[in-house]
Structure 1
Amino acid sequence: MLQWGLIGEGVLADPPRLLSVRRITAGPVPDDAFNRVAMLVHKLIDAPMGVVCLVDEDRQFLAGQVGVPEPLASAREMPLTHSFSRHVVMAGEMQIVPDVRDDPRMRDNPVIGEIGAIAYVGAPITDPDGLIVGALCAIDQEPRAWTPSEVALIRELAEVCSSEVCLRIARENAEEARTAAEEARTAAEEARTAAEEARTAAEQARTSAEDDRRAAESAHHQLELLAELTESLAATMDVDEAMRRLGDIVTAALADWCVVAVADDPGGTARVSAAHCDPERAADMARLAELAAGSHVDLRAMIVAVRARGRTMRSADGDAEMRSRITDAELAEITARAGFGASLIVPVVSPVRRRALGAILLVNRPERAAFTAAEEWTAAEVGRRAGLAVENSRLYREQRHVAEVLQRSLLTELPVIPGIQLHARYLPAQDGAAVGGDWYDAFAQPDGSVVVAVGDVSGHDIEAAATMGQLRNLVRGDAYGRDEEPGALLTALDQALHGLRVAASATAVLARVRTCWSGYEVGFANAGHPPPLLLLPDGNVQVWWVPPEPLLGLPPRGESRTTSRRFVPAGSTLVLYTDGLVEDREQLLDDGIAGLSAVLRENAGRTGDELCARLLEIAPRRSDDIALLLVRLI
């Protein structure tokens, strides 16, 4: 153990490695590019903290971070004693730790107590010489078994960080060489009259500096293109939209036109899109994509070939070599109009499954030069990022499908009750897992009364949905067959939640509807929820405000909840809803309820389904779930 510690300390103090670290950390802090990578880690694997760490001899720099608490987030550095990532540098490989408190190397690290870091996974970030300068890591605040797909994603994003590091060091080297060359040229000019040989040497230095400047500019453009592409692809989970964005970015900076063919499944049918730098060729590109999607077309065969090989194909003279393979007359005519010169085909590779999912054909017009080695490298990076976008889209759809199935299984199928029409809607928040804690319920009692309820468990994720399912079942089990008033039922529900240790915090309205001589009697209890609305037969709207009472799930108060009672004429509609329908950061709750009341008045004559649709149209941008229940009393 002592020998390994000495070796690890030697790695940390290695001068070439430290030189690379200090070149990178000399740039701006915080660093936007590394912040974006940290954000991808935070979003794609749902880790509370994503960090790009650069490890010096005695401290660690946070070149990019999301979720790190203050003051570390602002300081952007910490002592090496607080670093988990130093173990990645010392070990020379990825570190996957479900619980750092069980790891003898890490269990005494101060950040366990300071920021609650419990689970850690970190992948090496390397410089152009392969030296490990730091790590891209994800940190959770509870024990976590990192999945193979999460580990693969961290490793792939670490390679993206390594590419960024290499580009920056190359650019700095080129700038240093250019500066040195300019100084040499100046010195040579001053000594021109003294020595012709010095003038010749200075001219050679100037030429070299120009080459270095072009190399630096090229590296800078490549970095900008890849950063823009990464940010653009990360902003959408739709494959078709991602490929359209890819085509627009690539044809603006790398090639005159391109064709992208990808498939979610390596053996599945490919989606094909095409783009041209000239907007007037848009119709041609649309037709080209349509033809390339057909199994009989030669261009598709070329893309399938590189997809099968999993490596780049480059042609310096596309007009002679590549076009000779196109035998379809219409396709040949379109590619001729587009300009078929030098070409490059790169595979789109899944970073998770390590399989080719498609390919990208890049083409320049004949008057342009062949693709350089640097452009080929950039194109390969484009293919890798496209593969990551396809995988992200696939995983997102799978997770959303699971969430939607779960939500449908938790929502009540409304019963058919004589004399009462029930209509309900549920809409998940626009961000997140398409599942949440909002719910509605309705069921008939043996005595002929009807119990209806709407509630909102805190949060809008799968955990909130699971808690909602427990709460809904407790309401049903406790209320069915009992003739207590809603206030007493909610009081009993509070006691059950507390006694059974159900960790729930929720608002709810519970109501019992009975027939009476004047129409209907509605008794209801409100636990911190927006007030019910009643649309009367004459089009007027009542807002049933009552004195506020605590949310469900809080410690019992030792007193019963209140039941309020209203007498309602036949032909009325009782409207129960959750706060997502009326709350907005830019307006008061009262304003939202007033707007809902206005829509009820304006649409009093519509059917239940039409009225639900009208009410949902006024909802603000959905940062919260919405549950809506209409009870039409005939």
Structure 2
Amino acid sequence: MVPGDGSWEDEQRLLAAAFGGLAAGVLLIDADGRILAVNPRAEELLGRGAAAMTGADAHELLHRGPEGAAVPRARCSLLAVVETGRPAWGASDAFLTGDGRALPVRWSAAPVVAGGRPVGMAVLFADVAGSSAPVGPEAVQVGLLKDLTERLTLVGAITEVLSETLDVEEAVDRLGPLLVPELADWVAVDLRTPDGEVRRVAVLGPSGRDSALEAWRGPLPPPTALSRSALVRVLQGAEPLVLGTREMAEPPDAPLAAVQAGFLRALGATSAAVVPLSSAREVTGAITAVRTGAGRPFAEGELALLADIGHRAGVAIDNARLFGEQRDIATAMQHHLLTELPRGPGMQLAARYQPAPAGSRVGGDWYDAFPLSRGATALVIGDVIGHDLQAAARMAQLRNILRTLAWDRHEEPAAVVTRLDDAMTSLTDIPMATMVLAYTEKRPNGPWRLRWTSAGHPPPLLLPAAGTPSHSGAARYLEAGQGLILGAGGDPERPNGTEDLPAGSTLLLFTDGLVEAPGTDLDAGLERLRRHAASMAAHPLEEFCDQILRVVPPGSTDDTALLALRVPPN
């Protein structure tokens, strides 16, 4: 965790577990000088509880000069550690205690680094009169501060990379290289599957994934309830465990224990730590960290650090699984909400829906087409604001209202959308939406005709029949019929557009995810789509739709819907 980016309880737990036994006090301070966490010895020396210090300005609350005099902030050598990125120490300062005394202290501070820059600092201090704890230049020499800041920097890096993904396999792949070789020579990651099985999903060593150890990956035997195996016990909810050579030499008492024992022998393990991947909901798996060098057993502080990392990774994996469940449900819901297209004599219709590449993967984009009582066919493309399940549900609500209103009366598209706007405002909690409602029908002894209105939506794109000479027609957007977005207060003069559709031409209705992405120009996206669609107009309609989706701009965070109509040839 980068200091300050998460809950102080996590930082407090890590600091207390890893450095609770030090004879010196430890403070973790962020880049703005606020106290994030303290160890128990710091609470004892300062006569202040962790909760009372957390969030306070360390300079204002604690730091004093000789004889307890105030230190000007601009000349504070403690705060300068973050600014300069260099360690510092003091031997004649004081820290203010809870009862108002100025406690003479010796202190050392070293920066915590994330992304190549200081994001906070760790401060080691001791009572000048009553402590023999190494503080000052000697503390830096013996590595206490270096060890502390390296561990906090590692936790920050792990938290940062895990928070950037909602994919379980990617989370595991990102975790291993941060643990090897910083904390272990080898790492194995085991996950419980949703159906209760256990799989070893990763084995990583000094050079990453080792092909010689691929045989150890895959399904594992189920954890037996009465086994003494550390892995079995941790998977069933036990606390983290450290194994020495004696424990690893014990005969296995269950199939999973036998697999784990063989794995540790194959690595030549001299020390191993097994910690749970845990969240508030469940134990999702376990990490086995292995060292192979003599004289390097895992210490208690390292086990506490691994346990904290396991908890953070467990939360990330649990979140990824919850996201996957939501995504699958949402995708199924979205496809059920998108109706089958009608089939008429000669008329071809095709549609596509592509979820957003990030987020919940579903949203309020939709298409629809349905016959009207007077012989025309209604075509709809729309976008309800939002990119989540609620937006998808609102889309279904708006679609159903529109179908009813369009069927109810023989009205022009603009009149129907005007009534839809009023109904949406009065009967739903949908804040805003855009859409195009179009009617297409074959005129007796004449061409097909399109009548439409747009409520703040990108205009339809009309493509001439393949092979049409460029002087007699070109791909163009139908700019007429543009009115206000739904939910903007109503449009008393919402217009209609009318256009004859030439034989063999293609009409494309689409949502803005096809042409717009954060940081891109909408006009450039529309022109890119126009050119690409024109070049694809000769393809069969289903293939045409597939090709159109290829122009979704890189970096798009929106879902995309499109609806295409191919007019029959003469």
Query: Secondary structure at 2:269's aligned position in 1?
Result: coil
Is the 8 Å Cα contact of residues 203 and 214 (structure 2) preserved in structure 1? Answer: yes
CA 1:629–1:301: 2 relative to 1, 3 Å? farther
Question: Which residue type is aligned with residue 234 of structure 1?
Answer: S
- Aligned positions of 1:136-285 closer than 5 A: 209=138, 213-265=142-194, 267-279=196-208, 282-285=210-213
Question: Which residue type is aligned with residue 197 of structure 2?
Answer: G
Q: Distance in 1 between matches of 2:424 and 2:325?
A: 33
Paired position in structure 2 for 1:542: 476
2:561 matches 1:627: yes
Q: Distance in 2 between matches of 1:134 and 1:408?
A: 53
Structure 1 segments unaligned to the other structure (5+ residues): 1-30, 41-62, 66-74, 78-123, 137-167, 184-202
Q: Distance in 2 between matches of 1:534 and 1:427?
A: 22
2:248 matches 1:322: yes
TM-aligned CA deviation for residue 533 of structure 1: 0.9
Is the 8 Å Cα contact of residues 266 and 356 (structure 1) preserved in structure 2? Answer: no
Question: Which residue type is aligned with residue 33 of structure 1?
Answer: P
TM-aligned CA deviation for residue 267 of structure 1: 3.6
CA 1:592–1:277: 2 relative to 1, 3 Å? same
Q: Distance in 2 between matches of 1:625 and 1:296?
A: 42
Q: Distance in 1 between matches of 2:196 and 2:409?
A: 58
Query: Secondary structure at 1:270's aligned position in 2?
Result: strand
Is the 8 Å Cα contact of residues 436 and 462 (structure 1) preserved in structure 2? Answer: yes
Q: How many residue pairs were aligned? A: 465
TM-aligned CA deviation for residue 532 of structure 1: 0.6
- Aligned positions of 1:21-60 closer than 5 A: 32-36=2-6
Pairing partner for 1:590 from 499, 512, 523 = 523
Pairing partner for 1:566 from 477, 490, 499 = 499
Is the 8 Å Cα contact of residues 272 and 293 (structure 1) preserved in structure 2? Answer: no
Is the 8 Å Cα contact of residues 430 and 622 (structure 1) preserved in structure 2? Answer: yes
Is the 8 Å Cα contact of residues 90 and 107 (structure 2) preserved in structure 1? Answer: no
Q: Distance in 1 between matches of 2:298 and 2:229?
A: 22
Paired position in structure 1 for 2:296: 369
Q: Distance in 1 between matches of 2:387 and 2:448?
A: 35
2:542 matches 1:609: yes
Q: Distance in 2 between matches of 1:443 and 1:363?
A: 63
Pairing partner for 2:490 from 556, 559, 563 = 556
Q: Distance in 2 between matches of 1:410 and 1:276?
A: 48
Is the 8 Å Cα contact of residues 348 and 359 (structure 1) preserved in structure 2? Answer: yes
TM-aligned CA deviation for residue 32 of structure 1: 4.8
Pairing partner for 1:463 from 385, 390, 413 = 390
Query: Secondary structure at 2:178's aligned position in 1?
Result: helix
TM-aligned CA deviation for residue 555 of structure 1: 2.4
Query: Secondary structure at 2:52's aligned position in 1?
Result: strand
Q: Distance in 2 between matches of 1:330 and 1:204?
A: 45
Is the 8 Å Cα contact of residues 424 and 629 (structure 1) preserved in structure 2? Answer: yes
Paired position in structure 1 for 2:331: 404
2:452 matches 1:519: no
TM-aligned CA deviation for residue 439 of structure 1: 1.4
Q: Distance in 1 between matches of 2:106 and 2:212?
A: 48
Question: Which residue type is aligned with residue 529 of structure 1?
Answer: H
Question: Which residue type is aligned with residue 479 of structure 2?
Answer: W
Pairing partner for 2:234 from 292, 299, 306 = 306
Query: Secondary structure at 2:516's aligned position in 1?
Result: coil
2:346 matches 1:413: no
Q: Deviations over 1:215-266 (max 9, x none)?
A: 2222222111111111111111222221222221111210100111121559
Paired position in structure 1 for 2:401: 474
Paired position in structure 1 for 2:509: 576
TM-aligned CA deviation for residue 632 of structure 1: 1.8
- Aligned positions of 1:372-387 closer than 5 A: 372-387=299-314
Query: Secondary structure at 1:524's aligned position in 2?
Result: strand
* 4+ long deviations beyond 6 Å: 173-183, 203-208, 326-334
Q: Distance in 2 between matches of 1:337 and 1:249?
A: 22
Question: Which residue type is aligned with residue 508 of structure 2?
Answer: V
TM-aligned CA deviation for residue 446 of structure 1: 2.2
Structure 2 segments unaligned to the other structure (5+ residues): 11-28, 44-48, 56-81, 94-104, 109-131, 468-473
Is the 8 Å Cα contact of residues 453 and 482 (structure 2) preserved in structure 1? Answer: no
Question: Which residue type is aligned with residue 522 of structure 1?
Answer: L
Q: Deviations over 1:25-78 (max 9, x none)?
A: xxxxxx95212559x9xxxxxxxxxxxxxxxxxxxxxx889xxxxxxxxx999x
Structure showing greater relative contact order (alpha-carbon pairs closer than 8 Å, 6 or more residues apart): 2
Question: Which residue type is aligned with residue 518 of structure 1?
Answer: G
Q: Distance in 2 between matches of 1:134 and 1:602?
A: 67
TM-aligned CA deviation for residue 615 of structure 1: 1.0
Q: Distance in 2 between matches of 1:332 and 1:314?
A: 14
CA 1:447–1:521: 2 relative to 1, 3 Å? same
Which structure: greater strand fraction? Answer: 2
TM-score, normalised by the number of residues in structure 1:
0.64
TM-aligned CA deviation for residue 511 of structure 1: 0.7
CA 1:557–1:182: 2 relative to 1, 3 Å? closer
Pairing partner for 2:411 from 463, 481, 484 = 484
CA 1:392–1:125: 2 relative to 1, 3 Å? farther
Q: Distance in 2 between matches of 1:282 and 1:459?
A: 44
Q: Distance in 1 between matches of 2:481 and 2:300?
A: 73
TM-aligned CA deviation for residue 135 of structure 1: 7.4
Is the 8 Å Cα contact of residues 518 and 567 (structure 1) preserved in structure 2? Answer: no
Question: Which residue type is aligned with residue 257 of structure 1?
Answer: W
Q: Distance in 2 between matches of 1:239 and 1:434?
A: 16
TM-aligned CA deviation for residue 506 of structure 1: 1.9
CA 1:133–1:325: 2 relative to 1, 3 Å? farther
Paired position in structure 2 for 1:424: 351
- Aligned positions of 1:334-353 closer than 5 A: 338-350=267-279, 352-353=280-281
Question: Which residue type is aligned with residue 381 of structure 2?
Answer: V
Paired position in structure 2 for 1:3: none
CA 1:222–1:502: 2 relative to 1, 3 Å? closer
* Cα-Cα RMSD: 4.0
Is the 8 Å Cα contact of residues 274 and 286 (structure 2) preserved in structure 1? Answer: yes
Which structure: greater helix fraction? Answer: 1
CA 1:405–1:370: 2 relative to 1, 3 Å? same
Query: Secondary structure at 2:173's aligned position in 1?
Result: helix
Identity of matched residues, %: 34
TM-aligned CA deviation for residue 205 of structure 1: 7.2
Query: Secondary structure at 1:480's aligned position in 2?
Result: helix
CA 1:439–1:135: 2 relative to 1, 3 Å? farther
Q: Distance in 1 between matches of 2:426 and 2:148?
A: 64
Q: Distance in 2 between matches of 1:204 and 1:35?
A: 31
TM-aligned CA deviation for residue 126 of structure 1: 7.0
Q: Distance in 2 between matches of 1:523 and 1:547?
A: 9
Is the 8 Å Cα contact of residues 182 and 209 (structure 1) preserved in structure 2? Answer: no
Is the 8 Å Cα contact of residues 223 and 232 (structure 2) preserved in structure 1? Answer: no
TM-score, normalised by the number of residues in structure 2:
0.71
